[in-house]
Structure 1
């Protein structure tokens, strides 16, 4: 029975998972807010909360081997990439493992569907891991809203890796985490 639980944990770690109000990706960061498919209005606050406590990873490896190195947050859509935080100040709330980089949606953002994209660099057991979480959100404008000029940093970029980053980089990160879980499982049963 214990083996089945560990196997399910390995499968879950290879894909993004939304459970009990938290969004788990392949990295260390857990997104507490916003919830997927939330709707926000221009010139209003989008609550953002991320947990960098290392809870899951620390149970597999010694805590000194693991750390969140960098997190960047973007509002993205086809041909649209607006910086929310790049990089996020990971020590902005001393004494807490949950950070709240809340963001006021600027008036230059057109109404529509977007992803709130969390790009993350971690070190897990001495191995560097790049991962990305995309949470779908919608932006609305009040009735009669006159959209402001284009956002100033509306460009496609990758803050944590080069512009040539592809989904293969993310899959490599998934592979490292799954391999780490499988190795921990094997060590547990040997």
Structure 2
């Protein structure tokens, strides 16, 4: 799958522009960090009127892998529930008594993050089954994934729903931490994709912000399970989450 970049940004089949990560990046650390420009590089307002001809309705994000047959919620457009944690299980804690706290299970609605900023920074804490350094025979859930970016939006007075899959590799070190929730709290039903012939639709006439004469760089990725986009019309605003064109089902978390 090829990805077209403009000045290091990835233009998706939708209104969102991905600043980071880049395709096929090996990831790890404390969190999965995703940076999205939601203004079309200054072309859209953060608080559009309801009848605006071009505007976002919703962005949701999932972490999916056909290799691992896993599907995790990063943000499903709802307010995340609080999950109780035992802070004493954190090796950095020096408390001598039982100490409990809570963390959010996943990231809240994307468009509500950093309300005064046109760039939304998603920092999703890796759940516990991703802990590891890549040297163990038991890799848990680690492996090749797609950051699956679902966009519901209006463009030129027509509503659309698109899915863009950005391939990454969860291969760098991820340390144990008390704030990592159980993977079962984030995992949804996984169903394999249908054939590639069913992926594409001609409903979206083009990329909203890619004008003629723009200099682009085509990044050629590996052929295989990861990467790609699925496009489609949306007949109304606020449709339930679904796997759009190709029949993958995203179950609601919790």
Give your verdict on TM over 0.5. yes
Deviations along 1:126-170, one digit per CA (max 9) or x if unpaired, are 11111111111111364998xx96533322379xxxxx9997896
Distance change in 2, residues 1:106/1:91 (3 Å):
same
Corresponding residue for residue 185 of structure 2? 152
Corresponding residue for residue 47 of structure 1? 33
Task: Note the 1:38-187 alignment, pairs <5 A.
Answer: 38-41=25-28, 44-55=30-41, 64-78=52-66, 79-87=69-77, 88-109=109-130, 110-140=141-171, 142=173, 150-156=183-189, 171-172=200-201, 175-178=203-206
Runs of 5+ consecutive residues of structure 1 not aligned to the other structure: 1-14, 159-163, 186-190
Q: What SS does the corresponding residue of 1:119 show, helix, strand or coil?
A: strand
Corresponding residue for residue 236 of structure 2? none
Please say if residues 28 and 54 of structure 1, whose CA atoms lie closer than 8 Å, have aligned partners that are also in contact. yes
RMSD over equivalenced CA pairs, Å: 3.8
Distance change in 2, residues 1:49/1:124 (3 Å):
same
Of Structure 1 and Structure 2, the greater helix share is in 1
Runs of 5+ consecutive residues of structure 2 not aligned to the other structure: 45-50, 78-108, 131-140, 213-254
Q: What SS does the corresponding residue of 2:110 show, helix, strand or coil?
A: coil
Query: Which of 18, 22, 26 is residue 31 of structure 1 equivalent to?
Result: 18
Please say if residues 30 and 175 of structure 2, whose CA atoms lie closer than 8 Å, have aligned partners that are also in contact. no
Q: What SS does the corresponding residue of 1:108 show, helix, strand or coil?
A: helix
Cα distance in 2 for partners of 1:46, 1:179 equals 26
Deviations along 1:14-37, one digit per CA (max 9) or x if unpaired, are x85233221111100011111111
* TM-fit CA distance, 1:95: 2.2
Cα distance in 1 for partners of 2:173, 2:117 equals 35
Higher-Rg member (1/2): 2
Please say if residues 51 and 98 of structure 1, whose CA atoms lie closer than 8 Å, have aligned partners that are also in contact. yes
Provide the aligned length of Structure 1 versus Structure 2: 156
TM-score by length of 2: 0.51
